Structure formats: structure tokens, C-alpha cells
Structure 1
Amino acid sequence: MDKKMLLIMAEYNIWATRRLIQSLESIRDEDFYKDVGLYFKSIAGTLNHLLVGEHYLWYSRFKAGISQTIALDTMIHTEKEALLNELQQKSVNWISFIDQIDETTLEGNLTYKRVSGQELTLPYVATLMHVFNHGTHHRGQITAAVTALGYPCPELDVVYMLIE
């Protein structure tokens, strides 16, 4: 995979995060925090998981080689606006990071420690793609929950970003 495709995925991540956040701003707090049966229970819990996974764990591993010890269900923010703001602000970090990666790094491996302390070595590009795929997975869960709660949801398919 070339860097151009990684940049498209990073741009998609920003775009989909922004669109999702815009739709979540109108959701009542009781629905935002309600246990709706998601793996991380609520919309707020799932968004906090995205923040932890994408930015506190994976970004630190890729950018600085640091594996932080933080539980995947940590509630970084209990206040809706702060959570949505941090997700949006941090999503743009991936663009400048990917811009700076050289081809040798992309062709190599990433060694990191899991939250459990286990050390793993995985293909760099495939692991970076996991970060973006993971975000897509959880945004899909959130949009299903939002729809079930009776709220409208945005289209988040990549093609809609490309059309825009």
C-alpha cells in the first residue's frame, strides 16, 4: 500500500468523525449516555473507547514508540462536548504523521506492547490500516444505535467523502 492510500484513509477518518460528531450534537444527553447494548455500552462509552484506542494507544505507539497503560473502557471525558471536541481535534494528527513516514518504515514492522504487557511485532502498514478500520467499525456501531434511538444518521461511506 502506498502512502497516498494511507492519506486517503486518514482523510476519511477525519471526515467521518466530523460528520458523526455533527449528528451527535443534537442527541439528548440521556440517550448519549444510555446503555444501548454496544460493546462499550453507550454512545459515550464507545466514543471514549475510540479516543483511547485511536489516540492514546495507537497514535502513541506509532508516533513515539510508547505503549501507554490505559484500559480500553476508560472514560476520558464524561462531558459530551469535551469528548466530541477532543475526538475531532485529534483526528487530524494522523495526516501530518503519515506525511512524515518514509517508505522503509512503511515496509517494516511495528513492535509495541499491548495493554496486557505482551510485546507484539506486526506489519506496519497493516497495523496502521487496523487503526482506521477500527474507527469505521465503532462508528458503524454508533450509527446503528443512533438510528435505533430514532435519530437521523449521516452516510459515512468512503464514496460520499470522495463525492464531496
Structure 2
Amino acid sequence: MRHDTLKHFEYHKWANQKVFEHLKNLPEELFTQEIKSVFSSISEVVIHMCVADAMWLKVLSGGSFEQSKNLAIQLNQELRGKGIEGITAFFEDTAIQYQTFFESLEDLDADITVEHPSFGRMKTSYSELMNHVINHGTYHRGNISAMLRQLGHASVPTDYVFYLLNLNETTL
């Protein structure tokens, strides 16, 4: 397996956990407060991130686009009733499922074909799709950071270099 893809997924988990822990320490009403932004609330962004991670795991595991779309619809409804604690638990469970999936693969660089009803068929690798999952999370953590600032609160640093510094601190 490709070490860099797995390391980048570890970064994805670390960065999301940093944001989720920060959100837990802010006033509870902030999580669902309506805001004029890319998403209508921080909870909407967090739910979208978690649903997307689960949906892409379904795709990576061989699920069809239709199965993945149905899963996304179901999870969107289920997660709407949960607070940050429940959504964090869902994210952590999904991350464990990714780890199990990685362990079942012989080669993250192996080809996978994904078929989308509107955009067509794409042949790529598992590692390339994981790059998408990781990049997607980075993008939406940026949304959360901007929304927090708009609401008068600071965010937490989750750039990749902070992950590397955190690794360095834990190995000293």
C-alpha cells in the first residue's frame, strides 16, 4: 500500500477531530445557528463532510452510484437529529471502516472504475479517490473556519504542516 495515502488519511482524521473537538467547546447553539454562507449552519457542513466520507467508502468498496446516493440520503436524515457528539462518533466509526477497508486492499494504486449517471465512467486508482476524500475534507474545514470567524469565534489550525508538527511532538 502507498504510505503517503495512508498518512494523508491519518491527517484527514486528525484535522477533523481537531475541528470537532473545538466545536464541542463552543456554545452549543453555535453548531446549528443559521448563517448566510456556503452552508446554512456549521452542522450542515459537518454532516455533509461525514456523509461524503461514508458515501465515498461505499464507492471504494464497490457500491454503485445509486447505492451510494441512497446511503447519502439516509445518512443525511439520520445525522440531522444528532449533535456534535453523535456526529463525531459517526465520523470515528467511518474512519475505522476506512482502516478496515485499507487492510483488505492489496494495493491502493490498483485500478477502480467508477460510473456516474451524469458524468460517465472513470477509471482511476483507489489512492486517487482517497486524494479526493482528503481534499474534500480540507475544503470544508475551510468553510467551517470562515463560518466560525463570521460568527465571532476563532477556528483551530488544521493545515497539513500542523499535523506534521503534531507528529514531531509526539515522537520526541
Shorter-chain TM-score bucket reads 0.7 to 0.9
Partner of 1:135: 137
Query: Counterpart of 1:110 in structure 2: which amino acid?
Result: T
1:82 counterpart (72, 82, 86): 86
CA distance change for structure 1 residues 154 and 147 in 2, over 3 Å: closer, same or farther?
Answer: same
1:121 and 2:129 equivalent?
Answer: no
Alignment partners' CA distance in 1, 2:20 and 2:26:
10
1:61 and 2:42 equivalent?
Answer: no
Percent identity between matched residues is 21
CA distance change for structure 1 residues 71 and 40 in 2, over 3 Å: closer, same or farther?
Answer: farther
What is the total number of aligned residue pairs between the two structures?
159
Alignment partners' CA distance in 2, 1:108 and 1:11:
22
The Cα of 1:157 is off from its aligned counterpart by 0.9
1:135-162 CA-to-partner distances (Å, cap 9, x unmatched) read 1101111111112222232110111111
> Are 1:11 and 1:95, in contact at CA under 8 Å, matched by a contact in 2?
no
CA distance change for structure 1 residues 74 and 16 in 2, over 3 Å: closer, same or farther?
Answer: same
2:106 counterpart (92, 102, 108): 102
TM-score between both structures, scaled by the size of structure 1: 0.82
Runs of 4+ in 1 over 4 A off after TM superposition: none
Across the aligned residues of Structure 1 and Structure 2, the Cα RMSD in angstroms comes to: 2.5
The Cα of 1:71 is off from its aligned counterpart by 4.0
Alignment partners' CA distance in 2, 1:119 and 1:35:
36
> Are 1:32 and 1:42, in contact at CA under 8 Å, matched by a contact in 2?
yes
> Are 1:113 and 1:119, in contact at CA under 8 Å, matched by a contact in 2?
yes
CA distance change for structure 1 residues 162 and 91 in 2, over 3 Å: closer, same or farther?
Answer: same
Partner of 2:36: 37
Relative to total residues, which structure has the larger helix share, 1 or 2?
Answer: 2
